[in-house]
Amino acid sequence: MSDSWRMDETYIKVKGKWTYYYRAVDKFGNVVDYYLSPNRDKAAAKAFSNKAIALNGLPSKVVIDGSKSNDAALDSMNVQLWLTGFFMLSLIEILDIKYLNNIVEQSHRWVKQKTRQVLGWKSMEGALASLHGREMWTMLKREQIDVEGQTAFERFNALAV
C-alpha cells in the first residue's frame, strides 16, 4: 500500500436524510478506509482521518478536492504532530489537485448507482452493511486481503464460511 492517499466524500440518503460517505484510496486505487457520518464537518473528517491513520499508518501526502472540512481536519492533525514532536518524522503534505483525485471520485460511482436503485437506505445499519460488503469485495478483488482461493468469489466465500 502506498503512503500517498486520495481522500473524498460523497452523499447518500439514509432514512430520507443526507449522510456523508468518506473514503480514502491510495494512489493505485487500493482501499485505505471508509467512514459513514451524518455530518460533513471538521469533526467528521477528523474522525475519518484518525480511523484511517490508526489502521494504515501516517501518509506522506493526502490529495483532497478542495473540501474545507478535510483540509481543516488534516491541518489540525499536522498541528498535533508538530506539538507532540512527531514533526521530525514528517508532516502530512496536503495537496488540493482536482485531477489527482479522479481515482477516488470514480470509485464513488457504484455508491451512486446503488443509491439510485434503492432510493436510499432505510437504516444506518443497512447502509453500513452494504457499504462494508462492497468495500470488502473491492479489497478481495485487489488482493488486499490474504484469503485462500483462486478467484475473488472463492476468497469472498472463504470469508463467509
Backbone angles phi, psi at 100, to 5 degrees: -70, -20
DSSP string of 107-121, one letter each residue: HTHHHHHHHHHHTSB
- Residue 83: pLDDT over 90: no
pLDDT at 88: 64
Query: What tens digit of pLDDT does each residue of 112-135 get?
Result: 776 666 677 888 998 888 888 888
- Structural domains of the chain in order of their starting residue, each with its CATH number: 4-160 (3.30.420.10)
- Is beta strand 93-96 parallel, antiparallel or unpaired with respect to 61-64? parallel
49-54 mean pLDDT: 93
User: In this predicted model, what pLDDT tens digit does every residue of 9-27 receive, in sequence order?
Assistant: 988 889 989 999 999 999 8
- Residues 62/71, Cβ–Cβ less than 8 Å: no
- Residue of higher predicted confidence among 57 and 109: 57
Q: pLDDT-based confidence at 111, cuts 50/70/90? A: confident
% of the chain beyond a pLDDT of 70:
93
